[in-house]
Structure 1
Amino acid sequence: MITNVNLVTVYCLDQDATRDFYVNVLGFEASQDVTLGEFRWVTVKHPNQPELDITLMTPGPPLDDEAAAFIRRQLGKGGLGGLGLRVDDCRKTHAELVAKGVEFVQEPEDRPYGVEAVLRDNSGNWLVIVQPFAPPAF
């Protein structure tokens, strides 16, 4: 039986720079950094969700050359989605991240489910930050 999700992958072009972005800008913690031959396994995790590792993967093996090239092109165009991140106050988090130089492609906007903004990480992945509305009381 599946009990939870404990690993997701975010593709990046530079593992060190992307780890630094997630740690120093977004507030994640460095988790693992292991080199296995030519393969490097780098993960980060959020301190409030330590059971979930995010692996920062460069496009390469086990992908074939064509697939890796496709991922690199998509990163360059900003065509890959990354993560959905919950925040307490979307507008405040947006202002804090803008002050740190983060590029937003969508300013905070009210949606039926909450306040949402969309940013790009340093590799071009889009990340959604959402301040969910409280569920209605019955």
Structure 2
Amino acid sequence: MTVSLSAVHVLTDDPDAALAFYRDTLGLEVRNEVANDGFRWITLSTKDQPEIEIVLSEPHAGRSEEDGDALAAMLAKGELPGLLFRTDDLDGTFERVRAAGNAEVLQEPVDQFWGVRDAAFRDPAGNMVRISQA
């Protein structure tokens, strides 16, 4: 039996801003986009790992108003789990993200004491995004 990661959901309060960050700035490719009941789900993946999808969705999409409100509040505070990416050119990726101006820089590239070199941002919705050197 084999178990592998298929998809990760990332909440956003502005799908267009999230799409600009993940597609246009980070270079992920759109695999699917579905609209239903006034909400959108956008599925993206990287060229090197097309089997792992990132699904952008809004806090209230497919949820009760109460649950959507709770998730929206956590998103607004930056309290939801983040994403970890790996790149073969951390400095170049960092400069591309900084130049795009659609993410908040939290940490410039630095060698961490646990052995990785990485940088950190907040995406347009406030989710933590860390990118490490491969």
Q: TM-score range by the shorter chain?
A: 0.7 to 0.9
Give the aligned residue type for 2:125: S
Kept in 2, the 8 Å contact 1:81–1:127? The answer is no
Kept in 1, the 8 Å contact 2:81–2:128? The answer is yes
In structure 2, what is the Cα distance between the partners aligned to 1:81 and 1:108?
Answer: 21
Report the alpha carbon displacement of residue 71 of structure 1 after superposing the two structures with TM.
1.5
SS at match of 1:93: helix
| Map of 2:51 onto structure 1 | 51
Q: Structure 1: which 5+ residue stretches go unaligned?
A: 133-138
Give the aligned residue type for 2:126: G
More strand by share: 1
C-alpha deviations, 1:40-91, integer Å up to 9, x for none? 3321111111111111011124433222112212222222232100011323
SS at match of 2:60: coil
TM-score, length basis structure 1: 0.84
Tell me, yes or no, if structure 1 residue 71 matches structure 2 residue 71: yes
- Of structures 1 and 2, the larger Rg is shown by 1
SS at match of 2:125: coil
SS at match of 2:50: strand
Report the alpha carbon displacement of residue 109 of structure 1 after superposing the two structures with TM.
1.7
In structure 2, what is the Cα distance between the partners aligned to 1:94 and 1:103?
Answer: 11
Structure 1 stretch displaced more, 22-31 or 10-19: 10-19
In structure 1, what is the Cα distance between the partners aligned to 2:61 and 2:97?
Answer: 33
TM-score, length basis structure 2: 0.86
In structure 1, what is the Cα distance between the partners aligned to 2:30 and 2:15?
Answer: 11
Q: Structure 2: which 5+ residue stretches go unaligned?
A: none
Please list, as runs of the form range in 1=range in 2, the aligned pairs for 1:9-88 lying within 5 A after superposition.
9-38=9-38, 40-88=40-88
Report the alpha carbon displacement of residue 19 of structure 1 after superposing the two structures with TM.
1.7
Structure 1 stretch displaced more, 43-52 or 102-111: 102-111
Tell me, yes or no, if structure 1 residue 105 matches structure 2 residue 91: no
Work out the number of aligned pairs and report it.
132
Structure 1 stretch displaced more, 80-89 or 29-38: 29-38
